[in-house]
Amino acid sequence: MAATTITSASAYDVAIIGGGIAGCAAARSLTLHDPAHAKVTVYEIGRGPGGRASTRRTRSIPGLGLNHGAPYADICSLEGKELVRDLGLMEFRGMRGWVDSASGGFTSFEEEEDTRFVTGADNEMSNLASSLLASSTSNTPITTRYSSMIRSLSHIPSPTSPNGQRWQLHDKSGTTLGSADYLIIAGSGIAHPRWTDTFGGDPPLVAAAAKNKGNDAILDNALASIARQKSDPILAVFFYCTGDAATKWRELGFQIGKLRNTNNHDGPHEVLSKIIIQPHEEDGGCAVVLHSTAEFARANTGVFGSTSSAARVGDASSDSSREDILIAQMLQALSAIPGYPTVDTTMTADGASYGPLLHRWGNAFPVGDPLARDLTVCPISRVGFCGDYTETEARMGSVEAALLSGTSIGERIARLAKRDRDGGAEDGMDG
């Protein structure tokens, strides 16, 4: 498709809140389906794209990319596989399997012939999100606003907007970060009651909708559905090591190990759910990421990690005094697995050269009924929803669900905008 120049007379603005896989897929989809009109801005609290499929970097180790959330994407649907092919994503070839916490033994998973396992360029998951943003066909590039947190939403009158109003997006000081004719909520955070526990106050979209309660039944029902969803959180502890310490990790021979205890009838480990090993070929080093169980994370609320975006940008209330305690507990659980390297946090040079650090994924896996497709577009309010918490062909909570939902909502918002430009004529927006 040839690139098209946007004209000011026909352009419309779309604000996407959340720069994870769903948000980036929505941005790409909008510019593919309406390159002549859509002006897209993505607002993301993190330093770059990816969300829960992001990659941590540090200036102290050039070239290091540490996937501390989703380590790969498993793609099962035909639509998902077509998207993967179009994006030219890398195959994830790391060994995956079970780790027996009682013996330390590793058993690889059985092959899944109908599933593709993929990652971004250079095995960095954030590059999956970047590839979505980079594949825009519009002459007007997708605008990204990183380290930007939306704390409130409001409306202002606008004679050029389809419903006579534009959305206003504000930061914690009340400063207006941007405005838009259409709003896409990529991730349920600003629409879910858990916002209050983390940041205080009502969720921004809930507060904005309350001012017009009853004016948009679809939006009201969507927010009620989202509020009923729960989530499984995880705590992630990650570090990077070199020398002999790295060699010991690399010699384990796998990259993804899910914990189970065969002495407990295949029951889960009490503290750890997953060990992720990421060799770094440039210097022979190795990054290691530990994911906690949801139960351990739920029992240890109020700690987000001092380097997390929630604490750094969002001022999330976090008990820093407990951070080292939780890191120590997870490392102790690791050291209790027979044959696994111990982590001495005092090591330098030939040991831990980065970390260990802690990060809380408060909504790692949504639980409950997904947001139904017929509630993901709210024409009256000009709001769309996408993310792994919405209804798609893929498994709820998966990277694929985020990818498919973002792709779908971009097309549907483009159709809604066309309907608005054509004076309200139906055009198969929900097709």
Name the nearest CA neighbour of 241 among 231, 232, 252, 230. Answer: 252
Model confidence at 282, in pLDDT bands (50, 70, 90)? confident
Q: What's the whole-number mean pLDDT along residues 367-391?
A: 97
Query: Is the model's pLDDT at 57 over the cut of 70?
Result: yes
Strand partners, 56: 66
Model confidence at 112, in pLDDT bands (50, 70, 90)? confident
| pLDDT at site 7 | 45
Query: Is the model's pLDDT at 19 over the cut of 70?
Result: yes
The string of pLDDT tens digits covering residues 315-345 is: 555 677 789 899 999 999 999 999 999 887 6
What angle (nearest 5°) sits at the alpha carbon of residue 277, between those of residues 275 and 279? Answer: 175
Q: Specify the length of the chain in residues.
A: 431
The string of pLDDT tens digits covering residues 26-38 is: 999 999 999 999 9
Residue with tokens 């012939």: 113
Name the nearest CA neighbour of 257 among 122, 71, 51. Answer: 71
| pLDDT at site 144 | 96
Name the nearest CA neighbour of 194 among 202, 182, 184. Answer: 202
| pLDDT at site 345 | 63
DSSP H helices in 322-376: 323-335
Q: What's the whole-number mean pLDDT along residues 112-117?
A: 91
| pLDDT at site 313 | 52
What distance in Å separates the CA atoms of residue 97 and residue 256, rounded to the nearest whole number?
6
CB-based burial label for 315 (10 Å; 0-12, 13-18, 19+): middle
Q: How does DSSP classify residue 406? A: H
- The verdict on whether omega for the bond into residue 204 sits within 30 degrees of 0, i.e. cis, is no
DSSP for 256-310 reads: EEEEEBGGGTTBPPSSEEEEEEEEETTTTEEEEEEEE-HHHHHHT-S---TTSHH
Model confidence at 4, in pLDDT bands (50, 70, 90)? very low
Model confidence at 364, in pLDDT bands (50, 70, 90)? confident
The string of pLDDT tens digits covering residues 6-15 is: 445 588 999 9
Q: Taking all residues of the chain, what is their mean pLDDT, rounded to a whole number? A: 88
Model confidence at 137, in pLDDT bands (50, 70, 90)? low
Q: What's the whole-number mean pLDDT along residues 139-152?
A: 91
Query: Is the model's pLDDT at 393 over the cut of 90?
Result: yes
The string of pLDDT tens digits covering residues 203-234 is: 999 999 999 877 899 999 999 999 999 999 99
Model confidence at 191, in pLDDT bands (50, 70, 90)? very high
Query: Is the model's pLDDT at 132 over the cut of 60?
Result: yes
Is pLDDT larger for residue 313 or for residue 38? 38
What distance in Å separates the CA atoms of residue 58 and residue 36, rounded to the nearest whole number?
38
Model confidence at 290, in pLDDT bands (50, 70, 90)? very high
Query: Is the model's pLDDT at 2 over the cut of 50?
Result: no
Is pLDDT larger for residue 366 or for residue 353? 366
The string of pLDDT tens digits covering residues 60-101 is: 887 888 999 999 999 999 999 999 999 999 999 999 999 999
What percentage of the chain reaches a pLDDT higher than 70?
A: 88
| pLDDT at site 262 | 61
